Structure 1
Amino acid sequence: MSDTVLPRPAAALNPAQREWQRHTPLQRVLRFTVWLVIALAVVQSLRYIEIIPEFLYDAPEQMSDMLARMWPIDWAYFGSDVQAGLIETLHIATLGTLLSIVLAIPFGLLVAPNLTRHRGLNLFARIVLVASRSVNSLVWALLFLAIFGPGPLAGTLAIAFRSIGFVGKMAGETIEQMPRGPIEALQASGASKFSEIWYGYWPQLKPAFMSIVLLRWDINVRESAVLGIVGAGGVGMVLDTALNLFQWPRVATVLVSIFAIVIVTEVVVTQIRKRIL
């Protein structure tokens, strides 16, 4: 029997040398850099927003005073102006969403590289969708107010042009992730491009697209409620009038009504998605 002793691994000879580290030195440096940049950004932001301490100390008292002025709520004001403003808000959101669908579908098809195999068209569609999302709905409303004047038309167009980027981007990403099997089968059978889109892409896109449209309509109801502050129609104009006249009970009526309509639309969208999708 041999007395030869096999050498043990270095780790077994000295277990104290083994040390587990969650992050590598480079990762630790990067994490520290990120946190440092965030801290510097916060400090720089606090310097530029010019917080006045006296206003902060007085804020609770001012808030309680404003709430006291809003009570009791002027429910009689609802039937005269608020109800008409809410209906106009729903019309703006609905028509704006429908118009955005018509305008967004072509760009959603162009932005998907597996459907439109032309980089120039892909880039053009992506620029349009990014531009639509980059401009806030209030800014769109101000632009259309300068063209068409105050009223619900400017609000409808603002909602539509703001929604193009959202609907088109989500539709394009859904098309990109579709399986190629049904599409290749249609191509092999000699189907036209329209048949390929209608029978290959649309059946797969339809559930996600309906969900996107419902979600966007829900968002548009909330956004259209404030467009009236700049004169673009809806219940926001009623709110702006009450604020300018310091009619605080009427302001409370408008705010409660907006909150209620947002809750109702949320419930409606949820129920529709459960039953249709």
Structure 2
Amino acid sequence: MTTADHYRWQRFTPRERLARFAVFLGFAVALAASMRTVEVIPEFLYDAPTQVLDLFKRMWPIEYSYYPEGVHHALVETLHIASLGTLLAIVMAIPVGILGASNIVRVPALNWLAKLILVSSRSVNTLVWALLFVAVFGPGALAGTICIAFRSIGFVGKLFAEALEECDPGPIEALTAAGAPWPSVFLKGFWPQAAPAFWGIALFRWDINVRESAVIGLVGAGGIGMVLDTAMNLFHWDRVALVLLSIFSVVIIAELVVTNIRKRII
């Protein structure tokens, strides 16, 4: 009797096939339920290409003359909101990240408190934060800056805490055995190992915040988004095209700047 008589090769076991079927069935049920909830109107779908073409025709030619008086100041304000918001987020995220690193702070209650802060920051969408702070501080750049800062704490703090937890314990144990105080242990043991990841996180978050700062203005939190919202409400589609082109250009430039800086410092 050969080996082939004893074994029958198959790609998946019955249990694996059943699990795959259950996953696909779950996706199908979720899709069907979503389609019923969304209530897609077929007539709108058929008419969508015509409407898009009409919208592009209204956007052309782009009103470049509107840039100096209506777009430039708002665009600079957007960059200021992103930069200052990122800086505030870093200042607030560093202590929270340290509290969240279990190999530095060995108090579970403080670790859980830090994780609660980080999760709370990330779980609320940027536009929701913007609406909240617009209600508190009023429309303008201040609300946008605080919104960006609070939204970024969870991102920066979580990744910074993970970078600290991944540090090699050897240098830390050597410094501790030599009797070094805790600030020296952190600055000489933890920080040199976590610094490249930290600066990469900060730059990446600033890049994200440039994009988000262009959106929060739609709810009154300052920046180029307010100009975009005004142009759309007044049906000035040639100005809408100019604003969208400006946002796209700034995002591309920010991406190039962040990439070059990361290559130099990491």
Report how far residue 198 of structure 1 moved. Answer: 1.0
Tell me how far apart the structure 2 counterparts of residues 19 and 13 of structure 1 sit (CA, whole Å).
12
Whole-angstrom distance in 2 between the partners of 1:190 and 1:25: 59
SS at 1:158 equivalent: helix
Shift of 1:114: 0.7
TM-score (norm 1): 0.94
| 1:14 Cα deviation after fit | 5.5
Aligned to 1:156: 145
Q: Percent identity?
A: 60
Answer with 1 or 2: which has the greater Rg. 1
Q: Which ranges in structure 2 are unaligned for 5 or more consecutive residues?
A: none
**Count of residues in Structure 1 that have an aligned counterpart in Structure 2:** 266
Deviation of 1:142 after TM superposition, in Å, equals: 0.6
Measure, in 2, the Cα distance between the counterparts of 1:184 and 1:197.
Answer: 11
Deviates more, 1:30-39 or 1:222-231: 30-39
Q: Which residue of 2 aligns with 1:114?
A: 103
Mapped pair 1:50 → 2:39: yes
Distance between the aligned counterparts of 2:229 and 2:218, measured in 1? Answer: 5
Q: How does 1:174-189 map to 2 (within 5 A)?
A: 174-189=163-178
Pairing 1:91–2:80 present: yes
Partner of 1:5: none
Distance between the aligned counterparts of 2:162 and 2:9, measured in 1? Answer: 41
Aligned to 1:7: none
Q: Partners of 1:161 and 1:200 in 2: how far apart?
A: 29
Q: What is residue 180 of structure 2 aligned with on the other side?
A: 191
Offset at residue 30 of structure 1 (A): 1.3
Counterparts of residues 237-252 of structure 1 (less than 5 Å): 237-252=226-241
Residue matched to 1:200: 189
What pairs with 1:65-144 in structure 2 (closer than 5 Å)?
65-144=54-133
User: Secondary structure in 2 aligned to 1:116?
Assistant: coil
Task: Report what 2:18 is aligned to.
Answer: 29
TM value normalised by structure 2 = 0.98
More deviation, 215-224/185-194: 185-194
Q: Does 2:210 correspond to 1:210? A: no
* Shift of residue 24, structure 1, vs aligned partner: 2.3
Quote the Cα distance in structure 2 between the aligned partners of 1:224 and 1:139. 13
Root mean square deviation of aligned Cα: 0.9
CA drift at 1:23: 2.4
Q: Give me the whole-angstrom Cα distance separating, in 2, the residues matched to 1:86 and 1:13.
A: 76
Give the C-alpha shift of residue 52 in structure 1. 0.5
Question: Counterparts of 2:20 and 2:139 in 1: how far apart (Å)?
Answer: 50
